[in-house]
Structure 1
Amino acid sequence: MALVMLRAPLADLAGGREHPVDGATVKEALVALERTCPNISGWVLDERRTIRTHVNVYVNGELAREETAVGDSDRIHVLPAISGG
């Protein structure tokens, strides 16, 4: 299983920072995460199941997209954009 790592505020919504998930691609892993943590539904993936423009996803430190392959020992970091003034 891959491990999805979340930062605040997503970690707060999901009930923790680390979540093991099944999936062969980033998209499959994030859909599995939404199934186990329904409170984050819509925050990472949009209604078309694509990564929202204000969210960056990395697999083992490399920028990833929905079709990026994921292996059992991979770490998927989900980073929402931070803005302020």
Structure 2
Amino acid sequence: MAQVTLRAPLSELCGGRTHAIAGATVGEVLGALEQAHPPIAGWVLDEQGRIREHVNVFVNGTPGERSTPVGEADRVHVLPAITGG
């Protein structure tokens, strides 16, 4: 299973920073993450299963998108955008 690392506030909603999640693509992994942790449903993926505009996803340090392949030993980092003024 891929290791998914979340930053605050997503890690707080999921009850931890790192989670082992199965899936063949970033989209499958993030969908499974939302199913396993309902409090983050809608925070990472939109209604069509696309990664939200203000969320960045990296696979092994490289920017990823919904169709990016994910292997068993891969690390997926989910970073919500930080805004302020």
TM-score by length of 2: 0.98
Aligned to 1:41: 41
State the alpha-carbon separation in 2 of the partners of residues 36 and 45 from structure 1.
14
% same residue: 61
Q: For structure 1, which runs of at least 5 residues remain unmatched after alignment?
A: none
In the TM superposition, residue 82 of structure 1 has moved relative to its aligned partner by 0.2
TM-score by length of 1: 0.98
Aligned to 1:69: 69
Matched length: 85
**Matched position secondary structure for 2:71:** coil
**Matched position secondary structure for 1:39:** helix
Q: For structure 2, which runs of at least 5 residues remain unmatched after alignment?
A: none
State the alpha-carbon separation in 1 of the partners of residues 80 and 39 from structure 2.
15
Give RMSD over aligned pairs. 0.4
State the alpha-carbon separation in 1 of the partners of residues 36 and 83 from structure 2.
28
